[in-house]
Structure 1
Amino acid sequence: MVQTNDKTTPLFSIRDASVVRGGTTILHVDEFDLAEGEHVALLGPNGAGKSTFIQLLTREVFPLYRDEPPVRFRGQARPRLDQIRATLGVVSATMHDQVRVHLPSWEIVCGGLFGTVGLPLHGTVTADHRERAYDALERLGIADVAERDIMTLSTGQARRVLVARELIRDPQVLVFDEPCTGLDPQGMFQVRETMRTLADEGRSVILVTHYPEDIIPQIQRVLLIKQAEVFADGPKDEILTNEVMSSLFDVPLEVGHHGEWYSLRGAHK
């Protein structure tokens, strides 16, 4: 059950945040608010700062000290890490690369309760835990893979098992970090449908991607990051244009619009 929170206080609020590494600013965010229940897509070139932006939210990296804390979570200047982890679920292609164990899918999903890949050595799995794992898989349309070895699944199926692994904790926000990397068209379709399902349940979806094709119709806001700064932030119909996308990637590009979906391709003479 997705909880209801005070809608007047942003889920995340960032003001004048700079992340510096080795004397170089790898990300600066002047101002950003994300409302409870809001969806947003982050686009930008490789190395622009998209992953660092997400790590600011998850508190995996910290900005330079300011008298007024630059990043707030539900109005809190110093939230506990367990509060953030209880609220956010994160799925990434990198996480998928780390799954190198021969375990049934339901055990991978249960691992989300313990922060492990599979079941912890000394953890106790109850009948309720197992039922919740099966329920998460069923909600994503893959209950039939529950007993199958994760290593025998297609890439798209395995990616959805990892979504179920986060879903078992009932997070209110799902972060998808380049979720379609390495997937064939069928896998891409399935992952995008999974994002739609979760958005329709009332969960916030934060999507990090290079491609407008990944932006599900439920996401109406797009944030562009270029050269370690926010390049643009606004409604996707204003952001996803030939001019803006060409400026973002520094090559001539054409944006296609197909119903509720967008696409991107090189503009050739």
Structure 2
Amino acid sequence: MPSAMGEEFLNLQQVNVWRGLEAEVPALREVNLTLRTGESVAILGPNGSGKSTLLKLLTGELRSEVRDGSGCWLFGEDLWSIEELRHRIGVVMPEEVARFDPEELAFDVVLSGFRGAYGRTAFMRFSRAERIRASRAVDRMEVAELVNREFSALSSGERRRFLIARALAHEPEVLVLDEPSTALDFAASTELTRLLRDLILQGTTVVLVTHHPGEIPPEMERVVTLKNGQVVDDGPKRKVMTTDRLTDLYGLPLKARWAGGWCEVRPC
């Protein structure tokens, strides 16, 4: 079962984030948000809502605007090392698939996570301990029989599982999944969701970034919604994902229905 809530790994106070010098409005605006280890959370919103910016802030790729009354802390620090964050937060993004050499072996893709590298690992050296940790991560994703295949020979769902194994290999405190079912067919998406649910039940702290309410598993109780760079709602999913609130969030007439802990959303 998930562990009790632990330390804050993200604390945003009145945060603004600008994307580019010519931006007329901030990509994130006056955001207050606290995330803790031990609690899995879904970040939900339409395209352009600020989800990607929040993700880059969480992983240290972007910095917030410096001004009085505002602050961004990762694991309690307002200054951090990208290298350290890489080992404390595992991140999986759909675009990572294209960053690897097609002939790279699937297991080497997992090992590359220890160096924060993409592409060929032929000249990299890995310790026995790193190889054991990578093997454990592969086992968790149930793809051990595929480790000697070329990455390009895998299906989309299999490649996604190896990317998650890559993120898990260094045993991070937080796993961040950005639109994990993108480009997956129904069967692959269903299997990935099953594995995600297992990770949460095993105590992994997961941040799921998605635009689709139906992707949020029953084990994930808290939902944060974003629209136009602002937090709209933050709380228990049954209070956040109602017909009225989802209609406002997406600007479409929608109907929300709950079944077995899942939120099914249909147009009216």
- TM-score, structure 2 length as denominator? 0.91
Match of 2:67 in 1: 66
- Once structures 1 and 2 are overlaid, which stretch shifts more, 96-105 or 161-170? 96-105
For the residue of structure 1 that corresponds to 2:47, the secondary structure is coil
Q: Deviations over 1:138-158 (max 9, x none)?
A: 121111111111111111111
Match of 1:191 in 2: 192
Q: Deviations over 1:67-113 (max 9, x none)?
A: 45511122222233233221101111111233342122111111111
Match of 2:42 in 1: 41
Distance 2:162 2:132 in 1: 15
Is residue 135 of structure 2 the alignment partner of residue 134 of structure 1? yes
Q: Deviations over 1:105-127 (max 9, x none)?
A: 11111111111235535321334
Q: Which runs of 5+ in 1 are unaligned?
A: none
Q: How far has the Cα of 1:66 moved from its partner?
A: 2.2
Aligned pair in 2 of structure 1 residues 153, 120: CA closer, same or farther (>3 Å)? closer
For the residue of structure 2 that corresponds to 1:24, the secondary structure is coil
- Counting matched residue pairs gives 264
Q: Deviations over 1:150-207 (max 9, x none)?
A: 1111111110000001111111111000010110011111221222222122221101
Q: Residue type of the partner of 2:89?
A: L
**In percent, how many aligned pairs have the same letter?**
32
Distance 1:148 1:53 in 2: 35
Q: Which runs of 5+ in 2 are unaligned?
A: none
Aligned pair in 2 of structure 1 residues 98, 29: CA closer, same or farther (>3 Å)? farther
Match of 1:156 in 2: 157
Distance 1:6 1:191 in 2: 25
Q: Contact conserved, 2:99 with 2:119, CA < 8 A, in 1?
A: no
- Once structures 1 and 2 are overlaid, which stretch shifts more, 231-240 or 119-128? 119-128
Aligned pair in 2 of structure 1 residues 5, 62: CA closer, same or farther (>3 Å)? farther
Distance 1:166 1:118 in 2: 15
Q: Which runs of 4+ in 1 moved over 4 A?
A: none
Q: Residue type of the partner of 1:12?
A: L
Distance 1:68 1:81 in 2: 25
For the residue of structure 1 that corresponds to 2:27, the secondary structure is strand
Distance 2:4 2:87 in 1: 14
Aligned pair in 2 of structure 1 residues 147, 200: CA closer, same or farther (>3 Å)? same
Aligned pair in 2 of structure 1 residues 100, 242: CA closer, same or farther (>3 Å)? farther
Q: Residue type of the partner of 2:213?
A: P
Match of 1:103 in 2: 104
Alignment of 1:250-265 (within 5 A): 250-265=251-266
- Once structures 1 and 2 are overlaid, which stretch shifts more, 109-118 or 162-171? 109-118
Distance 2:131 2:205 in 1: 26
Q: Residue type of the partner of 2:143?
A: I
Aligned pair in 2 of structure 1 residues 259, 84: CA closer, same or farther (>3 Å)? same
Match of 1:24 in 2: 25
Q: Residue type of the partner of 1:85?
A: R
Q: Contact conserved, 1:192 with 1:216, CA < 8 A, in 2?
A: yes
Q: How far has the Cα of 1:133 moved from its partner?
A: 2.3
For the residue of structure 2 that corresponds to 1:32, the secondary structure is strand
Alpha carbon RMSD of aligned pairs, Å? 2.0
Q: Residue type of the partner of 2:164?
A: V
- TM-score, structure 1 length as denominator? 0.91
